[in-house]
Structure 1
């Protein structure tokens, strides 16, 4: 049997969030594209300094078929600080293209190792308010046992990827229609060239530089395709929380993206970069996040990226000059709206098909 990852979502360090689990219980529903008889969960406490205590972890595909998840045979257990562990394999009958329900009972009220989503397509939390961030803890990946290999697609990027407004509906379609497994490696606030260090209260959650964490993604997930959408924060953050002298040249961003492509080539991975979308009108840290200089850098970067093989020009779809078109803009002039994200997802899928990558 083959251990196949059917869902994976990047966790990061939300050190500024307190009392994330006030009711001592969390309920999740996570889309599962494959039928299975055995399943296990990745349990994540990577960024906390205290054990994550699990009093009970229950999963089910139907309310009448509930199963307790165990770790080393125990139904109550702890995940030690700075660790990720896999649960025991659990017998569970699941049909394809269904949602796995997960209920976690934990006395930990403050937990900093968290995933975040805005989309409700792949991960459903109790709060399903449209366009609001939803944080979840404990489970960062799911594996099932299968008889065959499936193509793996990693979505790598910043908040545009992490929030899921384009990546989640795209993943849902690729998984259900094309039987590709996907994983979300987006981190809000992430930059290609610099780790998270900023006056922003969210600084610790921005993660290490995308250029270095890319290596961890390749090693841990071993994707066949990487859909890459990053670079806007390299322009947006300098002068709005990060030092203005960290504003890179266009050549530096292009060189980094090309080196990421070479890393993929070394591992026989297809690298699919996206052009950088605009952000005029965004207020970041109380000041204007965009400028004519930043827009000129974006255009210069995109001009070079468009020469790369497999490039998908998302910017041409969503941009009206130096700003997002209204029907793609969630309101902050950087991020996609729910409906706009679905249009982006459809466009990327069409391009992947046209370029014969799926």
Structure 2
């Protein structure tokens, strides 16, 4: 009779052969996240934002997604997510290349990616994986084009809604095609791709910006990389600090309650979207505005409940040795989110963030953008809650780099 240890080893080897990829949780300290986003379940198209392909998914498509790295290295690998998939996700192939204009890839730069030594992989529902390492020198602020070949029906797609960037779709196998011409369909969301990681050269670490639409960059210029985490990465680079920055914001996300449209609550997704990333050193938490907003159909929260949620995030971070910076909640007066009760709670929670000492450090975004009890006009995108490019720059500049 075989021993339990041998049986366990055999099962593990079989699982690895079927999946054909490295589990995402198999962290290697030499790797760090150079770009990232947070996964959420498929949602209907928002008329004001444009079409997304998440609910119908894919069947015989190539999807090309352009992302900007905040750090470089000598090797690269990608992180793919099927955490909200209803069944196994077949990835028939993937490539990476240096982005040109639109969906184009610079000639001669396309590289095939592999998964456990194979060109294809299958990701079980509820799982994330990372690809094998590929020799591919990269630099900070460089744009990469990642192309996924999906040749079987996927069902609803795990995706990220408010990318504030354009993704492209073509029919058939266009993995090795550098031309933009076949990629005639456009969407301002990301699909399955949740991370790009690099290694090589000097050892760097990662800062994660965690929150809701104000971290996501809603209100900023699409395609301009003008979200506050982008500006923070530029500041760190200019100051010679060896830290990359990834964006784990989800528009509409809440601290305390799940939403079928805006994803799992912050206290549930924090481990996956922050702590399980490679090389994380610190996290900036800006969260809570949607818990107290007028559109919160689950009913009003109390300041004590929201503070307890923040304390949970702090405990999770410290248990992993991750430094945690708390950002105050910015003004919402005159916005669709505003209620008198919500404003009272916002003031109470901000007072706790500033004075309790619970966070390792504080980034006072509220004071950086406020004109009395509302946003400064120069920073307002127009809805009195989301910032414009100048406003996002202002809150990034309010972070003391030494606290990271």
Fold similarity call, TM over 0.5:
yes
CA contact (8 A) 1:170 1:346 kept: yes
Which residue is 1:163 aligned to? 217
8 Å contact kept, 1:2–1:148: no
Q: What is residue 75 of structure 2 aligned with on the other side?
A: 38
Q: Take 2:379 and 2:168, find their aligned partners in 1: how far apart are those partners?
A: 26
Deviation at 1:306, TM superposition (A): 1.4
Alignment of 1:335-354 (within 5 A): 335-348=386-399, 352-353=400-401
Is 2:298 the counterpart of 1:298?
Answer: no
Q: Helix, strand or coil for the counterpart of 1:214? A: helix
Matches within 5 A, 1:23-34: 24-34=61-71
Residue range with higher mean Cα deviation, 105-114 or 321-330: 105-114
Gaps of 5+ in 2: 1-28, 45-53, 99-105, 170-185, 219-226
The correspondence for 2:242, drawn from 179, 185, 205, is 179
Q: How does 1:1-358 map to 2 (within 5 A)?
A: 2-16=30-44, 17-19=54-56, 24-61=61-98, 62-107=106-151, 108=153, 111-120=156-165, 125=167, 134-146=188-200, 148-163=202-217, 165-175=227-237, 177-196=240-259, 204-217=260-273, 219-221=275-277, 223-237=280-294, 240-244=295-299, 247-283=300-336, 289-309=337-357, 310-348=361-399, 352-353=400-401, 356-358=402-404
Partner of 1:311, secondary structure, is: strand
**What is the count of residue pairs matched by the alignment?**
330
Q: CA deviation at 1:250?
A: 1.7
Offset of residue 21 of structure 1: 5.8
Moved over 6 A (4+): none
Please report how far the alpha carbon of residue 83 of structure 1 lies from its aligned counterpart in structure 2 after TM superposition. 2.3
Q: CA deviation at 1:307?
A: 0.6
Task: Report the CA distance between 1:235 and its aligned residue.
Answer: 0.3
- Structure with greater Cα Rg: 2
Over 3 Å counting, the alpha-carbon distance change for 1:84 and 1:274 in structure 2 is same
Residue 24 of structure 1 contacts residue 109 of structure 1 at CA under 8 Å; is this kept in 2? no
Normalising by the residue count of structure 1, what TM-score does the alignment of the two structures yield?
A: 0.80
Distance 2:167 2:349 in 1: 37
How far off is 1:230 after superposition?
A: 0.3
Q: Which runs of no fewer than 5 residues in structure 1 stay unpaired?
A: 197-203, 284-288
Which has the larger displacement, 298-307 or 108-117?
A: 108-117
Partner Cα separation in structure 2 for residue 141 and residue 187 of structure 1: 15
Q: SS in structure 1 opposite 2:379?
A: coil
Q: Deviations over 1:160-186 (max 9, x none)?
A: 112372223223443564220222222
After TM superposition, the score normalised by the length of structure 2 is 0.72
Q: Would the alpha carbon gap of residues 91 and 332 (structure 1) be closer, same or farther in structure 2, given more than 3 Å must change?
A: same
Preserved CA contact (<8 Å) 1:329 1:337:
yes
Moved more, 254-263 or 146-155: 254-263
8 Å contact kept, 2:73–2:201: no
